[in-house]
Amino acid sequence: MVRPVTMFTGQWADLSLKDLAPKMAELGYDGLELACWGDHMDVDKAATDKEYCKAQLGILEENGMKCFAISNHLAGQLVCDPNDDCRSDIFAPADCAGDADKKRAWAIETMKNTARAAKNLGVKVVNGFTGSPIWHMLYSFPPVTDQMIEDGFKFFADTWNPILDVYDECGVKFALEVHPTEIAFDVITAKRALEAIGNREAFGFNFDPSHLYWQMVDPVCFLNAFPDRIYHVHMKDAALQLDGTSGILSSHLNFGDPKRGWDFRSLGHGGVDFEEIIRTLNHIGYTGPLSVEWEDCGMERFYGAAEACDFVKGIDFSPSNVQFDAAFDE
């Protein structure tokens, strides 16, 4: 078993797909996980125009690559977020700016169209975010009641279930990237999110160990908790940089600042134990792509992308189909 190694294009949206695809093919990638921003994938167009889908896939095919998943994190974020400040304006069309209800309505329809786009592309998985109506209540002061949190999970379910109905109709699964600011950010909240939507199969997870590691959640524990819900895998590393002056809340410091308590790193340069992750993916039977999400403010990105591709191909291995001591019985 050789899992395909892909690159998530979200951090490369400043380049056109026509420019990016040959560069990633030259670096050794087997495919691209297309982000639904930049010119990489227009989901509203793809939802109704199969010729557009054919043209986008053709760019990959010309470079010997495939598409196994598309990702719409930005629209997904606005589905459940309060959308009550200007930060979320940049994710939606300009005419939605400042209007929380309009941003949410746009996001809901866009996430439905993302499922339709995936169907027309022949892709079975959409990765993304859900947003969260309760993330701002993470700390217990001002006081947060149990009912407030329960209401937040109910809002998530009420808002996402109609979206997931479209995913069922299209034969596509939605994979939440478990992440701070989402309805699920660790094992406990991921279980609660599944329970909130009745454990429906359309909803699973895009496993990204970097977001778990810096929170001090064991990524392997996450895989073992949800063996049948890992619909996609991101390969991304992170490093804890705790020096006694800052903590994991990052001190309002930007990525790349050495004073942050943690930061993302190129693969193999952080603290994530990828060998144990591969062993566990083998154990749970995951055979899908290993998709590099490259983020490292301290490294030139094409150098990092090349190194990351080699790293993933070097760390991935197939499970054994024999017991090593079986020959002793001969």
Domain boundaries, the chain: 5-329
Mean pLDDT of the region 292-313? 98
CA 229, distance to chain mean position in Å, is: 13
Whether the Cβ atoms of residue 79 and residue 131 lie closer than 8 Å to each other: yes
Does the structural domain 5-329 have CATH classification 3.20.20.150? Answer: yes
Mean pLDDT of the region 174-201? 98
Q: What's the one-letter identity of residue 87?
A: R
Within 10 A of 198 (CB to CB), how many other CB atoms are there? 10
Per-residue pLDDT band for 324 (boundaries 50, 70, 90) equals: low
Mean pLDDT of the region 307-313? 98
pLDDT at 312 over 60: yes
The rounded distance, in Å, linking the Cα atoms of 205 and 219 is 13
Q: Among 68-82, 144-158, 167-181, 312-326, which is the least confidently predicted range?
A: 312-326
User: In this structure, is the dihedral angle defined by the CA atoms of residues 159, 118, 34 and 198, taken in order, positive or negative?
Assistant: positive
* pTM confidence score: 0.96
R_g of the chain, CA atoms, integer Å: 20
- Closest-CA residue to 13 (of 32, 26, 27): 32
pLDDT at 328 over 90: no
pLDDT at 325 over 90: no
First to last CA, the chain: 27
Mean pLDDT of the chain: 96
Q: What is the pLDDT of residues 24-76, one digit of tens each?
A: 999 999 999 999 999 999 999 999 999 999 999 999 999 999 999 999 999 99
Per-residue pLDDT band for 327 (boundaries 50, 70, 90) equals: low
DSSP readout, 130-186? ---SSGGG-SS-S---HHHHHHHHHHHHHHHHHHHHHHHHHT-EEEEE--TTSS--S
Q: Where are the alpha helices (DSSP H) in the chain?
A: 17-27, 43-46, 50-62, 73-80, 100-121, 146-170, 187-196, 209-213, 219-225, 274-284, 301-315
CB burial of residue 94 (10 Å; 0-12, 13-18, 19+): exposed
Backbone angles phi, psi at 162, to 5 degrees: -65, -30
Residue 203 pairs in a beta bridge with 174
